[in-house]
Amino acid sequence: MARLIIMGGGVSGHTTATFAKKWLGEEHEVVVVTPNSQWNWIPSNIWVGVGQMSKKDVVFPLAPVYAKAGIDYRQAKAVSIHPNGKEGSDESYIIIESTKEGTQGQTEELTYDYLVNATGPKLNFDATEGLGNGKGELGNNTVSVCTADHAVHANIELKQLFEKARKAKQDGTGERQKILVGTGHGMCTCQGAAFEYIFNIEHEAKKAGVRDMIDIKWISNEAFLGDFGMGGLHMKVGGYAVSSKLFAESLYAERNVDWIIGAHTSKVEAGKIEYELLDGTMHEETFDFAMLIPPFAGVGLKGYDKDGSDISDTLFAPNGFMKVDAKYDAGAYENWKASDWPETYQNPTFDNIFAAGIAFAPPHLISKPMSSPNGTPINPTPPRTGMPAGIIGKAVAHSVCDMIKKGKENAHLHKASMADMGAACVASAGKGIFDGTAAAMTVYPVVPDFEKYPGTGRDTDYTFGEIGLAGHWIKHILHHMFIYKAKLKPGWTLIPE
Amino acid sequence: MKQEEVNFGKSDQFNLTMIPGSFARRMRTCLIWQFFRFTVINIKMLIVVSKSH
């Protein structure tokens, strides 16, 4: 019997664990180590953040699902990896620390034959002064929609702001409210979530009858609107092949949402941020309500050799994400190629360790690297969430199952390069069965391949985007479909990642 | 002034982009058209999904 441990139970880890258990059956053991007791469909957090959904609509308890699937579930966080075992034992193991009420803080050693790191990101709020509370958590100056609890809190604050705007309108004081949404650091990713949140706020403000009392502004580390961490994309609209820059700017102008781009938020205070632009100038912006996405980092896992020496550098890149089969020495932007991106997600040193989803270290950015004259890097980091995370998780599960069943020598490693993979993205711009809208986009491939597709780097037959009610319906259906799939209800394997 | 022209005057950034007119805006929530687009977008997405696995 082989034991596969998956660290992390998000989109990627959950996909890896559930497919691995289905393919391995009772003969082998699948263990999931995740600090969370609930699974969260994160894309719908933005609707919690505007009060259109409750927390219970976007989460469900993991324990019964894993019990049904026959997966050994440990509510704990992984602390360290010991791939060569320890004194007196060659068995690879990890150390986990319980986050479960009653046993919190207790540590345990878990041996493994195969290990998948799908720990996702650490929300690195403290990377920006005042964005975090100094203990690695969200501070008091801004709100977040990164977790369901954050989103619940964001909605409470938002409704208070709407109430102030309504009162000012009734009293005729003319006092306006100012909302700021975007990225809280020059190296953030996940602009899509902030994009969705700002337009959902705008939509809700209109519905509440207070839009005319609120100024809404976007701030982002993108060099241009519509970069989305992918260097933007070109799509066919109305017979033209156009840049996502025009597509995004059009939406912002239509909705009267002003924007600041190429910005590194350097400091956050109550009601005020300081930021540096790509031209090196420093500025301030005030706000009454702000939602700023934090940068991501690895979760802080350590690696140790048999003799106790620290081998974290062997396992992880400096940003804390796990090294896989990517080309990390590609050099300058001009030398970047689609083939730099990993295919199998296998660690180059330990062939029984893989990383999936956000946890793998990308070889470099996708967007063109930028920095200010002061040397501050201001560019979005590559997105690895959603559909790519699920597809990578499934490919890794396939590879590990083959290795277990056929042996390492005969196993076929499955490939899921982001340079050979598309992504469907539906960004909500307001919820409502008859008056909602969303930007429905597909991009193929996620990482542009200028050798295969000279010009835009992507196949414009499969890269498109449009805004409308249909997109909202799709987003709503996806919400129910993916929660259904994650609960492993009948036919779950038929729903694609 | 037409609704789509209002925001052009609000900032230089807005002035240099395109803003949809009333027909384009109506089509975004026109049920018949959106049912058709729903079908088309789903087919396109399924093709991208199938190419990615």
Per-residue pLDDT, B41: 94
Q: What's the structural domain count of chain B?
A: 1
**Res. B53: pLDDT tops 80:** no
Per-residue pLDDT, A236: 82
Please check whether residue A467 touches B, CB under 8 A.
yes
Asked if A464 lies within 8 A of B44 by C-beta distance, the reply is yes
Shortest CA gap A305–chain B (Å): 36
Please check whether residue A90 touches B, CB under 8 A.
no
- Give the alpha-carbon dihedral of A311, A316, A318, A324, to 10 degrees: 140
**Burial label, A157 (beta-carbon count in 10 A; 0-12, 13-18, 19+):** middle
The helix/strand/coil state of A444 is coil
Secondary structure element (H or E) that encloses residue A388, with its range: helix A387-406
Please check whether residue A268 touches B, CB under 8 A.
no
Shortest CA gap B4–chain A (Å): 7
Domain ranges of chain A: 3-123+297-406
Mean pLDDT of chain B: 92
Structure token digits, residue A377: 């890097």
Q: Which residues in chain B touch residue A474, judged by CB atoms under 8 angstroms apart?
A: 38, 41-42, 45
**Burial label, A339 (beta-carbon count in 10 A; 0-12, 13-18, 19+):** middle
Backbone phi, then psi, for A23, in 5-degree steps? -80, -30
Asked if B14 lies within 8 A of A464 by C-beta distance, the reply is no
Per-residue pLDDT, A446: 94
- Give the alpha-carbon dihedral of A355, A359, A360, A361, to 10 degrees: -150
Per-residue pLDDT, B52: 80
Q: Which residues in chain A touch residue B38, judged by CB atoms under 8 angstroms apart?
A: 470, 473-474
Please check whether residue A212 touches B, CB under 8 A.
no
Asked if B38 lies within 8 A of A254 by C-beta distance, the reply is no
Query: Running DSSP on this structure, what letter comes out for residue A436?
Result: -
- What distance in Å separates the CA atoms of residue A93 and residue A444, rounded to the nearest whole number? 39
Residue of chain A with shortest Cα separation from B15: A253
Shortest CA gap B23–chain A (Å): 13
Give average pLDDT by consecutive 10-residue segment, chain A, 497 residues. 96 97 96 96 96 97 97 97 95 97 96 97 96 96 97 98 97 96 94 95 97 98 94 86 93 97 97 98 98 95 96 95 96 95 97 97 95 96 89 97 94 94 91 94 94 93 92 96 97 92
Give Cα separations from A186 to A131, A198, A265, A333, A383 (angstroms): 13, 19, 6, 18, 15
Structure token digits, residue A406: 């056929």
- Chosen for mutation from A202, A211, A250, A477 (greatest number of chain B CBs closer than 10 Å) is A250
The residues, ordered by sequence, that sit 6+ positions from A243 with a Cβ below 8 Å of its Cβ are A226, A232, A233, A234
**Res. B49: pLDDT tops 90:** no
Strand pairing report for A302-303 and A107-111: unpaired
Residue of chain A with shortest Cα separation from B39: A470
- Domain holding B36, by residue range, is 3-52
- What distance in Å separates the CA atoms of residue A301 and residue A322, rounded to the nearest whole number? 9
Q: Which residues in chain A touch residue B45, judged by CB atoms under 8 angstroms apart?
A: 424, 440, 442, 474
Query: Running DSSP on this structure, what letter comes out for residue A497?
Result: -
Per-residue pLDDT, A54: 97
Per-residue pLDDT, A294: 96
Residue appearing with tokens 């933007």 = A232
How many alpha carbons fall within 13 Å on the CB side of residue A162?
19
Closest CA to A425 of A391, A370, A471: A471
Residue appearing with tokens 């300058």 = A332
Asked if B7 lies within 8 A of A468 by C-beta distance, the reply is no
Asked if A254 lies within 8 A of B35 by C-beta distance, the reply is no
Peptide bond between residue A61 and the one before it cis (omega within 30 degrees of 0): no
Per-residue pLDDT, A384: 85
Per-residue pLDDT, A171: 95
B48 vs A254, A444, A474: nearest CB: A444
Closest CA to A448 of A475, A420, A428: A420
Q: Which residues pair with A178 in a beta bridge?
A: A215
Asked if residue A393 lies in contact with residue A496, where contact means CB atoms within 8 angstroms, the answer is: no
**Stated length of chain A:** 497
Residue of chain A with shortest Cα separation from B52: A421
Backbone phi, then psi, for B18, in 5-degree steps? -115, 145
ipTM exceeding 0.90, yes/no: yes
**Burial label, A334 (beta-carbon count in 10 A; 0-12, 13-18, 19+):** exposed
CATH number, domain A3-123+297-406: 3.50.50.60
Per-residue pLDDT, A431: 92
Question: Beta strands of A53-191 (E only): which ranges?
Answer: 59-61, 72-82, 93-98, 107-111, 114-117, 122-123, 177-183
pLDDT band at B4 (very low <50, low <70, confident <90, very high): confident
Q: Which residues in chain A touch residue B9, judged by CB atoms under 8 angstroms apart?
A: none
